[in-house]
Structure 1
Amino acid sequence: MLPKNLFSLLWNFVIFITFFINQSFGSADLIQQGLSLSRSNEPKNILATSIIGGSHLPQMLEILKILKDRGYNVTLIAPGNYTARSTNYRSIPQVIFDNERVDLSRKSQEFDHAFLDNDFFKLFSIITNVMVQSYVPSYNIYKQVNDEINADLFFCDIFINHACLDLAWKLGKPVVGISSDLSELTSSPYKSNPIFGCHANMENESFYDRFKCAIINSLIKTLALREPLKGLNVKRASVGIDPHWDFVGRVSNRLMLSNNFYGFEIPSSDSPLHQNIGPVIPDTFPGLTPILDSFLNAHPRTIYFALGTNAIISPQNVIIILKSFLKLIDQNVIDGVMWSTVRTDTSKILHHGGAGSSHESMYTATPMLVLPILGDQPRNAELLESAGIALSISRANLQVDDIVSKAKRLLNEKSFKKNAERLQFLAKINSKRKYRAADLIEIVMNTAKYQGVKDENGGFKVDNENLLRDWITPDTRMGFIRGKYLDVYGAAVIIFLVLFGGFTYTLWKIRYFYITFRKENRDSQKSLNLKKKRN
């Protein structure tokens, strides 16, 4: 039998040999994974378009700037000399497209009266008329610029911009859309719009309200859009485009980018083709002038007031707002007011609820008093309130005391600042996703290179309906019944009912035979007893 210390010596020898081998012949040096991409043979030309321009442009331009830095050739078509006047986007060439059919400010009397009267259907009629009348001029300028640059991809602000989507469809070019709100494209019935008398989130609403918003309002919108879509299809036919009956445009099976993020937006299980890439916020902002900087240093409790570039409020409401500011100053709640278009860090902000202003306020953890005007603003106001970072006031019932009391609440109640800081973290983390948006656009262009067919100009012609088939969920190809597995669930219900019915019938029959047997047994027993008594 071996002594115990011999086992110990052998064990130490094994450890030494293992250590020696590991040191002498150890693992090879780690090799860095190659992450660089070769873009030398990629399609390069991107044409971005917007009918509205203004506040719709920064979200596009931030992404275009990233793509330009990666070596792509980008061109913007939009109203107004926007990029040349901008500090951040001067490097992006712009084709200025000023179309009087699109400029709502030139329709001042009709538009202003409908707006101030809060006549939604009149506003709707004006906007749909703009959509129809601007189609051919927009289509022609897009086509003209495309003939010059031979675009490999169209990047469209989708708001009433059907010409961009249609031209890409006709030319067989890949297209990517962008908007601050894709709720109209989602299949989530609990998402709605306050413009139509509903709440942004219908989760806690009554059956009647949910039925009205999901069914009745949808029928009203469908009927209201019939004539505008007929007119739009007439314009389409004049430039050789097939008719299309979706008010949003040819967006199915296309990549749609949403300048939004969960935490602000209502959660939903959307298609992989609908990607949240917001908040898209510039990395730099113009600095303050010495006068403004000095004013803010001397007035740390300044309220910042901005209503965007196209806001319309009545003179009476302007007076009410100014009286509210004076009362807040008299009560020493605030010590200054800045009515401006310059973004600053202030204690509180009063704005119209636009996506850009909302995102910037969340990014700086600034509680908000929101005066929604039109478009996506009423919906944003509800979402901001539900997130606990804002209070809203109504332009239809604007009152000095209401503004003053809500301003005090925003300053004094700690919950608003706490929620603002919570959303600030989300906004800052998600603001990096503009690089993800650029990545997605590159993926679409790269997919077109492999899926498309080369045309006479050296570009690639694609079928947009099937280009991103790897992202298209199978249920869209299976039809409603098969896609929702209604046939399977229906069969399961029928089988269950048959089995349950059969089981129930069997139990009934057993019970019936058992009762019959007992009855017959009792009867025979009684008969037997009677016979015994007689005997």
Structure 2
Amino acid sequence: MGGALFPEEYAHSSSSLPPLVRLEYDDEANIRPNVFKHRTPKQVMFLSIVGGRSHVKPLLEIGQILVDRVSPNANKIIAREHPKIELITIDPIWDETTTIAQNLFLDEYVNFRHWRALFRKTENHYPYAFPILLNATIERQADLLICEMEWMAEICADVAWVLGLPIVLEHYELGAAVNAPYKSDPLYTTNHISGCHVSLENLSFWDRFKCVAILHPLLKLVQYESMFYFNSHRSVHGIEWVWSPMERIKDSLYLANTFFGFEVPEKLSPLVQEIGPIYSEYYEPLTKELKEFLDSHPRTMYIAFGDRFWTTPKNYEKIMQTILEAMNTKLLDGVIWSTSVSYLEGMPGNFTLNDGTVIDTAQIVANKHPHILLQNWVPQFATLNHTNIKLFLTHGGFQSIQESLYHAIPMLVLPLYIDQRGNAERLMLQGCALAVSKLSLSVNDMLSKMRILMTDDQIKSNLLRMQTLARMNGNRKYRAADLIEYVMDHAKLGPNSGRIPTVQEWLTPDRRMGWIKGNNVDIFVVVILVILVDLFGSIWLARRITQFVLNYRIGKGKDVKKTNGNTK
């Protein structure tokens, strides 16, 4: 460790000032102050009840840093997995292959039928997942729980409540923990009522009214309804009820895997920290087949809809027609499509292009087309890193967006579900992407937007700006690990009024003062009362003066008349 004074020749010889002191640094990377000198091995549990790469990968990255800090000689080469992290597998709450899920995928918006279905799935998951996480946490004598903030993190928060453990919340957006009044999300929009967008700044009064006064309260009702279902499960396990969905986690640290620039700016509490975008240290390289294909195709489009999402056979047909037209007109000369061949089985036997050219579909599906490469799995980061990738057709998943921004690749976004419409809007607000609708997908519309994305200089400039922000913020996972360590070491040291220990120095005073004092409501009430008393007093006084003057004038008039009468 460091910590020694500078050599004597650097000391202040002609002054009475003390010599300079060198900061202490970690041994491995001589750039970070060693603020956790007295580390002892600890157990950290984290839970993701939704699963999926975008949900789990950031937690694994942060977890790997925490493991390495107490195991400095461990192997740093991470391939596709994180072998130092023990995995306890439980069934996810949501299976995209079920009939219910597939029917929901066909709607344009996540309407309240969707929300109810998703909440019911989460509630029904509670009796199964809660005892597994509780027993695993007890067996491993965990010191802290990291809860993915999805569907209110009920299971994870209740385990922390029962065991008296501190928790840290993590998610890929800010809206799960805080939301400014000028922000919303299109996922709150229904098929019948529109109005919600990521920013309400440029909307009409009527659209803002529908979102704020109708849709937001309706969603709150669904959340509170779900809370009572959870409370019924809590009763079975002898856990106290909650009276608000955020009651047990409102004072816990929340880490948002995002960054301002992509997110619409807003004020944050010290308990809410933006720590994204989280990137891995190592990524799978290109396969030989992919590299040879990319090297020989200077204008390649990459297509991927994640590992959990899909669209209709008709849309797959339109996408295929679009890429064939784009290559026929020399807009593209190659396409890499990460997809299962089973999704393409419903396509017609051949495609007829605008100039009459006929393309045999069987040749494409069999991967015999010289300019279309179909792959079940593609190392996405390495693919986007190749200089010949000029466009990315994506569903708008958060990890895909992060990786595309890192490489400044323009995106044509086809939102398929949940948060992806909001992600598309955020990108369009920054001038980095264009979007198409899954219910009204058009070949001509896609071709037009692809051409704009590949040729517009302003879009290129916007992408370079966003690339700078993404890369500049790309190492904040180390700060996330620092914050988690601090919570783990210090949350139990301060005074705590609840069962879940919190870091008191990050709580804003209004948490302790209460809503009335914390928002100076009592002062404003007194000021309003004083103004009202003053106003009504002034009105009363003015009326009295007016009445007096009128009476005086009337009286004086009578005296004048009387005097005149006497004179006569």
- Fold-level similarity (TM above 0.5): yes
The residue number in structure 2 matching 1:342 is 379
Question: Offset at 1:391?
Answer: 0.7
The residue number in structure 2 matching 1:273 is 271
The residue number in structure 2 matching 1:183 is 175
The residue number in structure 2 matching 1:366 is 409
Question: Offset at 1:89?
Answer: 4.0
The residue number in structure 1 matching 2:441 is 398
Q: Bigger CA drift: 178-187 or 502-511?
A: 502-511
For residues 68 and 24 of structure 1, the distance between their equivalents in structure 2, rounded to whole angstroms, comes to 47
Question: Which aligned pairs between 1:71-82 and structure 2 lie closer than 5 A?
Answer: 71=70
CA contact (8 A) 2:167 2:253 kept: yes
The residue number in structure 1 matching 2:145 is 154
Q: Bigger CA drift: 113-122 or 212-221?
A: 113-122
For residues 556 and 117 of structure 2, the distance between their equivalents in structure 1, rounded to whole angstroms, comes to 88
- Greater Rg over alpha carbons, structure: 1
Q: Identity percentage over the alignment?
A: 34
User: Aligned to 1:37, which of 14, 35, 38?
Assistant: 35
Give 2:174's aligned amino acid: L
For structure 2, the 5+ residue unaligned runs are 1-11, 25-32, 190-195, 339-377
For residues 78 and 16 of structure 2, the distance between their equivalents in structure 1, rounded to whole angstroms, comes to 58
Question: Offset at 1:475?
Answer: 2.0
Question: Offset at 1:417?
Answer: 0.9
For residues 429 and 148 of structure 1, the distance between their equivalents in structure 2, rounded to whole angstroms, comes to 40
The residue number in structure 1 matching 2:132 is 141
Q: Bigger CA drift: 254-263 or 213-222?
A: 213-222
The residue number in structure 2 matching 1:51 is 49
Question: Offset at 1:478?
Answer: 3.1
Question: Offset at 1:266?
Answer: 1.4
CA contact (8 A) 2:511 2:518 kept: yes
CA displacement 1:170-222 (0-9 Å, x = unmatched):
10011101011231432522221212221111122233322322232233224
Give 2:279's aligned amino acid: I
Give 2:101's aligned amino acid: F
The residue number in structure 1 matching 2:373 is none
For residues 247 and 481 of structure 1, the distance between their equivalents in structure 2, rounded to whole angstroms, comes to 21
Q: Bigger CA drift: 286-295 or 481-490?
A: 481-490
User: Aligned to 1:437, which of 458, 462, 480?
Assistant: 480
Question: Offset at 1:45?
Answer: 1.1
Q: Structure 1 residues 186 and 499, CA, compared in 2 at 3 Å: closer, same or farther?
A: same
The residue number in structure 2 matching 1:12 is none
CA contact (8 A) 2:491 2:501 kept: no
CA displacement 1:73-108 (0-9 Å, x = unmatched):
9xxxxxxxxxxx971543332324142x62413x52
User: Aligned to 1:315, which of 299, 313, 316?
Assistant: 313
Give 1:474's aligned amino acid: P
For residues 278 and 46 of structure 1, the distance between their equivalents in structure 2, rounded to whole angstroms, comes to 21
The residue number in structure 2 matching 1:64 is 63
Give 1:32's aligned amino acid: R
Q: Structure 1 residues 211 and 112, CA, compared in 2 at 3 Å: closer, same or farther?
A: same
CA displacement 1:456-478 (0-9 Å, x = unmatched):
xxxxx994556222222222333
The residue number in structure 2 matching 1:81 is none
Tell me the secondary structure at the aligned position of residue 150 of structure 2.
coil
User: Aligned to 2:418, which of 375, 381, 384?
Assistant: 375
CA contact (8 A) 1:165 1:249 kept: no
Question: Offset at 1:361?
Answer: 1.4
CA contact (8 A) 2:302 2:336 kept: yes
Q: Structure 1 residues 399 and 60, CA, compared in 2 at 3 Å: closer, same or farther?
A: same
For residues 27 and 477 of structure 1, the distance between their equivalents in structure 2, rounded to whole angstroms, comes to 43
User: Is 1:486 aligned to residue 521 of structure 2?
Assistant: yes
Q: Structure 1 residues 419 and 285, CA, compared in 2 at 3 Å: closer, same or farther?
A: same
User: Is 1:126 aligned to residue 114 of structure 2?
Assistant: no
User: Aligned to 2:162, which of 150, 170, 194?
Assistant: 170
For residues 170 and 471 of structure 1, the distance between their equivalents in structure 2, rounded to whole angstroms, comes to 23
User: Aligned to 1:95, which of 87, 94, 98?
Assistant: 87
Q: Structure 1 residues 507 and 312, CA, compared in 2 at 3 Å: closer, same or farther?
A: same
CA contact (8 A) 2:494 2:503 kept: no
The residue number in structure 2 matching 1:233 is 231
For residues 90 and 490 of structure 2, the distance between their equivalents in structure 1, rounded to whole angstroms, comes to 34
Q: Which has the higher helix share?
A: 1
Give 1:490's aligned amino acid: V
CA contact (8 A) 1:175 1:255 kept: yes
Tell me the secondary structure at the aligned position of residue 451 of structure 1.
coil
Give 1:407's aligned amino acid: M
The residue number in structure 1 matching 2:9 is none
For residues 316 and 475 of structure 1, the distance between their equivalents in structure 2, rounded to whole angstroms, comes to 54
Q: Structure 1 residues 249 and 98, CA, compared in 2 at 3 Å: closer, same or farther?
A: farther
For residues 140 and 421 of structure 2, the distance between their equivalents in structure 1, rounded to whole angstroms, comes to 39
Tell me the secondary structure at the aligned position of residue 507 of structure 2.
coil
User: Is 1:353 aligned to residue 410 of structure 2?
Assistant: no
CA contact (8 A) 2:271 2:507 kept: yes
For residues 516 and 229 of structure 1, the distance between their equivalents in structure 2, rounded to whole angstroms, comes to 67
User: Is 1:219 aligned to residue 217 of structure 2?
Assistant: yes
The residue number in structure 1 matching 2:201 is 203
The residue number in structure 1 matching 2:28 is none
Give 2:409's aligned amino acid: T
The residue number in structure 2 matching 1:112 is 102
The residue number in structure 2 matching 1:193 is 185
CA contact (8 A) 2:115 2:222 kept: no
For residues 304 and 357 of structure 1, the distance between their equivalents in structure 2, rounded to whole angstroms, comes to 11
For structure 1, the 5+ residue unaligned runs are 1-21, 74-84, 453-460
Question: Offset at 1:491?
Answer: 2.0
Question: Offset at 1:241?
Answer: 2.1
Aligned length: 491
Tell me the secondary structure at the aligned position of residue 528 of structure 2.
helix
CA displacement 1:457-508 (0-9 Å, x = unmatched):
xxxx994556222222222333333322122123223323444555576677
Question: Offset at 1:412?
Answer: 1.6
The residue number in structure 2 matching 1:328 is 326
User: Aligned to 1:448, which of 478, 483, 491?
Assistant: 491
Question: Offset at 1:314?
Answer: 0.5
The residue number in structure 2 matching 1:408 is 451
The residue number in structure 2 matching 1:8 is none
User: Aligned to 1:243, which of 235, 241, 244?
Assistant: 241
Question: Offset at 1:376?
Answer: 1.3
Tell me the secondary structure at the aligned position of residue 391 of structure 1.
strand
For residues 217 and 258 of structure 2, the distance between their equivalents in structure 1, rounded to whole angstroms, comes to 28
For residues 43 and 473 of structure 1, the distance between their equivalents in structure 2, rounded to whole angstroms, comes to 31
For residues 447 and 39 of structure 2, the distance between their equivalents in structure 1, rounded to whole angstroms, comes to 61
User: Is 1:475 aligned to residue 510 of structure 2?
Assistant: yes
For residues 155 and 71 of structure 2, the distance between their equivalents in structure 1, rounded to whole angstroms, comes to 23
User: Is 1:386 aligned to residue 385 of structure 2?
Assistant: no
